[in-house]
Amino acid sequence: MTIASLLRGARTRIREAEHLRKWIVLGALIGVIAGLGAVVFFTALELATRVFLGALAGYTPSTPVGEGGYPLATPARPWAIPFVVALGGLISGIIVFRLAPEAEGHGTDAAIAAFHHGARRVRGRVPLIKLVSSAITIGSGGSGGREGPTAQIGAGFGSFLARVLDLEARDARIAVATGMGAGIGAIFRAPLGGAVLAAEIPYQDDLEADALIPGFVASIVAFSVFGVFIGFAPIFGTVATAGFTDPVQLVYYALIGLAAGIVGRLYIGGFYGATRWFAGWRLPREVRPAIAGFLVGCMGVVMPGVLGTGYGWVQAGLDRTTLLGLPVLVVLALPFAKILATSLSIGSGGSGGIFGPGLVIGGLLGAGVWRLLVGVAPAVPNDPSGFVIVAMMAMFGSIAHAPLAVMLMVAEMTGNLAMLAPAMLAIGISMLVVGPRSIYRSQLRNRSESPAHQFRFAMPLLSSIPAGDAVRAPRLVLNAATTARDALERLARAGMPGAPVVGRDGSLRGTVDADALEASPSDAKLGDLADSTTSVTVDDSLDDVLAALADGHRTWVPVTGPDGLAGILSTGDVMTAYRSALAANVRRVRSVTATGAMIEADVPPDSPLAGVTVARAGWPPETVLVTIVRDGRTIVPRGNAVLQAGDRLTVFCTDAGREPLEAMLTKPPAPIPTEA
C-alpha cells in the first residue's frame, strides 16, 4: 500500500466523519505537535538565555515559582548587556530576513491573518525560523513573549494538516485556530484559556464557536505533552493569598481597569508607532533589531526588569515583602519601560510575542497601583497579589479583545479563581477605554467581515446547496504521467490556463496552470508538479467552495467525489447555481398569500414522511416547505430531496392550510394489512 493510497483513504474517512469524531482525531494530532513545539521552544529559550545572558553577561534573569523561582539579581558584567542584546538582535534579524521574512514581529498576529486569509498557505519553514529567531531574541535579553513561536508552530501544523488531508475551507480555518490556541495554552500551562483563545482571538467582537470543541481537545493534549517534559505547575505557583472579600475594594479594581485601559492604549500606540518608525529606516532590515537591541540593553543596565520575558518581576510583584523592598519609582516606571523595550525589540523586526509582555506590563501596573495606595487609602488589601492578577487580566484582555480567554489564562497561571469577580469589572472598564483599538491588527470586527464567513452572511442560501448540484465536467483533464511540455501544448490547443490532474485510477492529484508549467523542466511529470492544496468535495456547500476559491486566489477549483474527480466549479458556476436556487424559492413563496404562519416540526421516526421525497409528500395546498435542517445542516428542499426521521421542517402556510398541514405532520403511519 502506497503513501498516496493511505492519504486518499485518510482524506475520505476524515471528510465522512461526523464533526466531534473528526476533531477528536485532528485535535489530538494538532495538540501533540503544538505541545512538542512548546517543549522544543522552551528548551531552546533556556539554552539561549544561558549562552547569551548567562555566559556573556554574567546575568541570570529572575524566574517565576513554576520555573525554578530564581530571585531578582543584578548582572555581574552590566557593561556587556547592551552588546549582548544587540548581538542577539543581529543574529535573529539575519535569520529572519534571509530565510523567512514573514516570521518577523509577533507570531500570533500572523496566525490570525492565516486564519482569515489563507489557512492552507503557512509555509513549513516559518514555525522553525520563528522558533530559532525568537529563542535568540528573548534569550539574549530582547523584550518579547514566548507565545508567538508556539502559536505559529501550532497554526503551521494545522495548515499542514489542511493541505495534506485536503480539508474543506472551514475545517482548515479551525485547524489553524486550534493549533494557535493549543500552542499558547501549552507554553502558558493554561489549557482552558488556550482553548477559549482559539475561538475568541480572531475577532474583536465575536467568537468562532466552531473552534471551541476542537480547541478543548488540542489544548489539553498540548498541555499534557508539555507537562510531561517541563512540568504541570502553574507558572506563578498557586497564589492563595489573593481574594475578594470586601465590596469597597471594587473602587480600587475599577481604578485598575481605568489605568489598564490608558496604559493599554499607550502600548498599542507605542508598539505600532515604533514599527512605523523602523519601517522608514533606510538601513538594511537585518541591522534594525541589532540597533534596537543595543537601546534595550542600555535600558536593562538601569532596569533589568525590561530584559527577556520579565515573568520573574511579576512574581516579585505578587509577594508583599519583595515588592515593598523595591524603590517605588522603579515599580512605577517598569510598566512604561517594558512598553518601550517591547516596542523596540519586536517593532524593529525582532522575533517574539507581545502577549507575554502585555501580561507583564499589566502585572507591574497592578503592583504600582498597590504601592501607591497601601497605607494611604482605606480597605486596601494587605497583599498586592489581587491587584497584580486583576491588572494582568484587564490589561491584555482589553487590548487583545479576548477578555474571557485572558481571564481564564491568568487564573490558570496563578492557580487562583477568586479574583474573577473584580476582574470582570476591571476588564469592562478597560475595554471601554481601549475602544476598537487592538494590539492584533489582523483581528476583524466580527464574522460578517471575515472571508471565512462573508459568503454565508451575504448569501445564506449558499450554505444549503452542495457542490455536487452545481459541478460541471472539465473541458480538459490531464494525466499525472503527462510531461510539462505535452501539457503546455494541450492547454494551448484548448485555450485554457490550467486543468485538473488525475492518476491512473481517476483520483485527483491536483491542478496545474500554464504559468507554473513554463517555469518547470519540460520533461517533468505532472504528478510531481500538481498543486494539491485546493479542492472541494461534492458534499461541500457552495459557500465553502467560494471560501476555497478566495483562500487559494483561484478562479476555479476541482471537485472530488467517491470515485475520484467529479468535475470543476468556477465562481460563475457558483453564482449561476445560487441564482437558480434563489429563483426557485421565490417562485414557491409567491404562490402563497401574504397572511399565514410559519410552522416548525420534527419528522418523527414513525412518520409516513420518512423516506419520501419532497415532491411525493403530498403537501396541502397553500403551503411552502422552506427549509429542512438535518444534523445542524440546512438542506434546500428540492423535489428529489428525501425526508428522514429527525429532520426539522420549516413550513410556511396560510390560515386555511394550517390544519391539514399539522394533521399531515402528526398523523400515524397507515396500518399494515394482514391476511385473513
E strands, 314-392, are: none
Q: Is residue 672 part of a domain?
A: no
H helices present in 303-327, as ranges: 311-318, 320-324
502-508 mean pLDDT: 83
Separation of alpha carbons 612 and 79, rounded Å? 84
- Count Cβ atoms within 10 A of the Cβ of residue 98 and give its class: 0-12 exposed, 13-18 middle, 19 or more buried: exposed
218, 31 contact by CB (below 8 A) = yes
Helix, strand or coil, per DSSP, at residue 201:
coil
Separation of alpha carbons 259 and 227, rounded Å? 35
Type of residue at 273: G
Residues 566 and 648 in one domain: no
pLDDT higher at 310 or 527:
310
Q: Is residue 396 part of a domain?
A: yes
CATH assignment at residue 595 = 3.30.70.1450
Q: Is residue 435 part of a domain?
A: yes
Of 196, 129, 192, 189, give the one whose Cα is nearest residue 156: 129
pLDDT of residue 509: 84
| Cross-sheet strand order for the sheet of 623-630 | 597-602, 648-653, 623-630, 633-635
Separation of alpha carbons 576 and 539, rounded Å? 18
pTM for this predicted structure: 0.78
Largest CA distance in the chain: 107
| Per-residue pLDDT tens over the stretch 396-447 | 999 999 999 999 999 999 999 999 999 999 999 999 999 999 999 889 888 8
Of the three residues 403, 430, 448, the one that is the final residue of a domain is: 448
Residues 459 and 550 in one domain: yes
Q: Is the pLDDT of residue 10 over 60?
A: yes
Cell of 538: 461534492
Cell of 460: 445564506
Determine what percent of the chain falls in helix, strand and coil, rounding each to the nearest 5: 60, 10, 30
Of 92, 7, 97, 9, give the one whose Cα is nearest residue 52: 92
Separation of alpha carbons 645 and 647, rounded Å? 6
Helix axes 250-279, 420-434, angle to 10 degrees: 40
Residue 550 CB partners (closer than 8 Å, separation 6+) = 451
Mean of the per-residue pLDDT values of the chain = 86
Residues 264 and 336 in one domain: yes
Residue 118 CB partners (closer than 8 Å, separation 6+) = 551
pLDDT of residue 102: 67
Q: Is the pLDDT of residue 4 over 70?
A: no
DSSP run (H or E) holding 650: strand 648-653
Residues 545 and 559 in one domain: yes
- Percentage of the chain exceeding pLDDT 90: 48
Q: Is the pLDDT of residue 672 over 50?
A: no
pLDDT of residue 676: 38
- Percentage of the chain exceeding pLDDT 70: 90
Separation of alpha carbons 499 and 504, rounded Å? 16
Residues 301 and 444 in one domain: yes
Q: Is residue 459 part of a domain?
A: yes
Q: Is the pLDDT of residue 46 over 70?
A: yes
Residues 303 and 339 in one domain: yes
Of the three residues 448, 482, 499, the one that is the final residue of a domain is: 448
Q: Is residue 145 part of a domain?
A: yes
pLDDT higher at 167 or 416:
416
pLDDT of residue 147: 87
Q: Is residue 345 part of a domain?
A: yes
Type of residue at 153: I
CATH assignment at residue 530 = 3.10.580.10
pLDDT of residue 670: 47
Of the three residues 387, 421, 448, the one that is the final residue of a domain is: 448
pLDDT higher at 600 or 435:
435
DSSP run (H or E) holding 567: strand 564-570
Domain count, the chain: 3
pLDDT higher at 637 or 491:
491
Q: Helices then strands (H, E): number in the chain?
A: 26, 10
CATH assignment at residue 244 = 1.10.3080.10
426, 257 contact by CB (below 8 A) = yes
pLDDT of residue 656: 74
pLDDT of residue 454: 61
Residues 225 and 339 in one domain: yes
Domain carrying residue 42 = 11-448
Cell of 324: 515593598
Residue in the structure block whose three cell numbers are 501596573: 365
Residues 336 and 362 in one domain: yes
Residues 412 and 547 in one domain: no
Q: Is residue 598 part of a domain?
A: yes
| Per-residue pLDDT tens over the stretch 263-283 | 999 999 999 999 999 988 888
Residues 271 and 381 in one domain: yes
Neighbouring C-beta atoms of residue 511, cutoff 10 Å: 25
Q: Is the pLDDT of residue 556 over 90?
A: no
Residue in the structure block whose three cell numbers are 489598564: 260
Q: Is the pLDDT of residue 13 over 60?
A: yes
Q: Is the pLDDT of residue 562 over 80?
A: no
Residues 171 and 115 in one domain: yes
Helix, strand or coil, per DSSP, at residue 457:
helix
Q: Is the pLDDT of residue 669 over 50?
A: no
Q: Is the pLDDT of residue 629 over 70?
A: yes
Residues 150 and 218 in one domain: yes
| Per-residue pLDDT tens over the stretch 286-315 | 899 999 999 999 999 999 999 999 999 999
* Terminal CA-CA length for the chain: 59
Q: Is the pLDDT of residue 571 over 70?
A: yes
| Per-residue pLDDT tens over the stretch 470-485 | 888 888 989 988 998 8
Instruction: Specify the pairing of strand 633-635 against strand 623-630.
Output: antiparallel
Q: Is residue 477 part of a domain?
A: yes
Helix, strand or coil, per DSSP, at residue 606:
coil
